[in-house]
Amino acid sequence: MKRAEPTTFEDRLAVSVKLTINGVAHAFVGGQVPHVELRLDGHGFLGTVELRVQDDKSSGGGFTDELLASFLTADLITAEVSVAAVYHQPETSQSLQPIAVKGLVTHKSVEELLLRRSKDQPILVRRYRLELADPARVLWTQHFPCKLYTNKTPQAIIDEHTGEHITFTYDWSALTKSKPQWFVHLPPEREASFYDFVTWIVDEGGGVLRYDYGQQQYALTAVKDTSSQPQALFGDDVHTAQLVVPPVPRHEVVVADSYADGPRSETVTQDQSVTGVRHDRPMRSPISQDVDDEVTLQRSRLRLPKYEAELHFGRFPTADVVPGTRLTLAAANRWSTGSSLVTPTWRVRELQLCATGRAVPLDHDHQSTDTGYTVSMQARLEQSDDPRVVLPRYRIPWYPAYVEGKVVSEKGEEGEKTYQTKRNATTSLDEYTVAVPLYEDQKVTAPFEPAQGSGNVYVPSYREERVLLAMELESSRIERLLVWRDGAALSMDVQGEHILLGISPTSNTSLSHVYDGKNPVLAILRTHDDDTSLVRMSEGTVLVQVQELQDGNPKSGTLVCTLEKSKTGGVTLKVVNDDGTVTQTVTMDGKQQMELKFVGSSETSYIKIEQDKITLDTKDLVINARNTISCKADATATYESTKDTTIKSSANLVQSATSDVKVSGSNVELTAQSAASMEGMTAKVAGSQSLTLSGTSQAQLSGATVKVSADATLNAESSGMATLGGSMTTIKGSLITAG
């Protein structure tokens, strides 16, 4: 909607301008200020000033331009501008204050006016033009800090950036509460300055940014100020007045929390909303209170406007009209009783003033404190109880910022790759602690979540691990990991993957998959100090090994145990002692044989089992059965000894054969402690040289037929009684001797 053309009036004003450059003040008044233009908002101001400075001393005049030299430098200029009426209207209050601002110069130029009528065209007058604004708008729009704050109040953080030209006061409890993290992220390439940042914080928090023109300072408050007493504005001051109804919001707000274990959607309604028109405010938080707080905030921000008034003054007003001033337009002060202007109490939201000096000689009112101007003044009024807050237009800061950090853990010893989480007392959620080296190792928290890979894999980030933090204004999260752990990286030659778990190089478990040529090899190695356990799977082979090392060699008193399974070589179980002098091996090749082998420092023993044969090779063989021993051969059986052989039974000893039994030796001795028996269908006892049969008590030889013969001499003799008898007895010989 096009605004009405400004109304002008003539008046004599006292305009003063003071410029301070490097501590030196330059003052200008009256005719030296031919033009001044100000736009005052509730949150700051913009202004333009023109100065006319004479410099004619070299031509015999009395004026010297002392501004030029410092004006042309790059030094910062502080500008103070004051505009006041000289002749007040009868209704004017005696306490009426000048319209005054104090700011910083942003743009400047100077025009040199030459005296063309003179031969050398001397410069007798210069016209200076300056643009100025409130200090925060000037300095903070060029201020792009990126800085981390922990456990500080927002108020303290803002104060850190005010400097000598900016002053803030506060009346907002939200700014006095310490926050675990505040990350100011304002890289210049994103074009959001600190001025945008503060305005954004005020807007998001539902607060008020106000510029106090009486004190020339800023205020951050929770609500608009209503403490001042309203002033009466007379109807004669106003040439025209227009009532304006601002655009009405037709939407409702939906706060939508996407937390999957408890999604929640809350709608904030308002009387003028149109069905289906909405502003969604998505968020993600497991904390129900966070959703409640957001709903409360959005409800406070969804404010319906009230109609406003735009005034065009026909004379210099009889009341203060700087933004923030409360006014009444009462019928008793020459306002129409039927006007909608008379009912509300108003607040000045915006003031525009333009004063241009009349066309007069250059030295007119040059030394006077006031001069005549053509003036236009417009004011925008809002109703005093209008809850809406008007803020400067701003760019939203860019988040998240990506900053490197290192995970903090107080568990274990220094250098160990331990991890640690802490329970947040407010949210009851577990969190990492991460130090940010760039910002003096300040510590922030990040959710203890499976940010990398699958939730099935529980591999927490460990102490000193370099991580990339995605940092929001008040929170951080681990975006990703930045470095391979020492010992985790593999040579490119093996084209492998590796998972290294554990707290240190001497206490860990390694899971690796590499290529040996074109064959994949999977290995799991557990290490605790010098104790290791290995499972290795390669082409057709599985190896299981346990050992403990000391200085790279097996530790004294320990064993190296290895189990190897091969699809071509079978299964091998091997145990080696600490110095390698004893090796015990069990081999099952799955084809030809099984073997149990003991290799010692001096001897080797083994048992080899083949399909049709068992071979046992040892120095000494001891078989001990606590019950029976049974040995059977379907074919021949051979028992051989190069030295003495003893077969002993504590009970009966039975030897039998279905065919012949042969016992031979240099000397054969058969001894029985009681009876001894030898029996056969045909029995023969013979001695190639001699034969002796004896009994210490008695000896008996019997049979159906008994024959005793000798090729030489036969001698039968008894030291006692001898009897030879039978039913028929025959004694014969070529010579028989009896007696």
pLDDT at 706 over 90: no
Per-residue pLDDT at 731 exceeds 90 = no
Angstrom distance (rounded) from CA 462 to CA 408:
8
CA dist 97 and 420 (Å) reads 63
Distance between CA atoms of residues 310 and 85, nearest Å? 22
pLDDT tens digit string along 24-50? Answer: 999 999 999 999 999 999 999 999 999
Q: Find the mean pLDDT for residues 255-268.
A: 93
pLDDT tens sequence across 601-634: 888 998 988 888 888 988 888 888 888 888 888 8
**Residue 330: is its pLDDT beyond 60?**
yes
Predicted local distance difference test score (pLDDT) of residue 115? 63
User: Is the pLDDT confidence value at 93 over 90?
Assistant: no
What pLDDT score does 194 carry? 98
pTM: 0.79
pLDDT tens digits for range 437-476: 999 999 999 999 887 667 888 889 999 999 999 999 999 9
For 287, list phi and psi in degrees, rounded to 5: -95, 115
What count of other Cβ atoms lies within 10 Å of the Cβ of residue 380?
Answer: 22
More confident of the two residues 397 and 677: 397
- 3-class secondary-structure state, position 144: coil
- Confidence check: pLDDT of 213 > 60: yes
Average pLDDT, the chain: 88
What contacts 556, CB < 8 A, 6 or more positions away?
550, 578, 579
In whole angstroms, give the CA distance from residue 227 to residue 73: 44
**pLDDT category of residue 363 using cuts at 50, 70 and 90:** low
Contact 59, 341 (CB under 8 A): no
pLDDT (mean) for 311-336:
93
State yes or no: pLDDT of 153 exceeds 90: yes
Q: What pLDDT does 462 receive?
A: 92
Encode pLDDT of 282-305 as tens digits.
Answer: 999 988 999 999 999 999 888 899
More confident residue, 398 or 54: 398
In the predicted model, is pLDDT for residue 266 greater than 70? Answer: yes
Average pLDDT in the 592-606 region?
88
Omega before 317 cis (within 30°)?
Answer: no
pLDDT for res 89:
85
Output the pLDDT for position 119.
56
pLDDT of residue 593: 86
**Residue 234 and residue 315 in contact, taking contact as beta carbons nearer than 8 Å:** no
All residues at 6 or more sequence positions from 77 whose CB lies less than 8 Å from its CB, including other chains: 19, 20, 21, 71, 104, 105, 108, 130
Q: Report d(CA 492, CA 203) in Å as an integer.
A: 54
pLDDT-derived band at 116 (thresholds 50, 70, 90) equals low
pLDDT of the residue at 2 = 57
pLDDT in tens, 172-194: 999 999 999 999 999 999 999 99
In this prediction, residue 37 carries a pLDDT of 97
Distance, in Å, from the CA atom of 628 to the CA atom of 558, rounded to the nearest integer, reads 38
The pLDDT score that the predictor gives to residue 82 is 97
Task: Give tens-digit pLDDT for 529-563.
Answer: 889 899 999 998 999 999 888 877 888 878 888 88
The Cα–Cα gap between 357 and 340 comes to: 36
CA distances from 529 to 317, 411, 504, 524, 561 (A): 89, 19, 9, 16, 17
On the question of pLDDT at 216 being above 90, the answer is yes
598 vs 140, higher pLDDT:
140
Give the model's pLDDT for residue 632. 84
Q: What pLDDT does residue 4 have?
A: 58
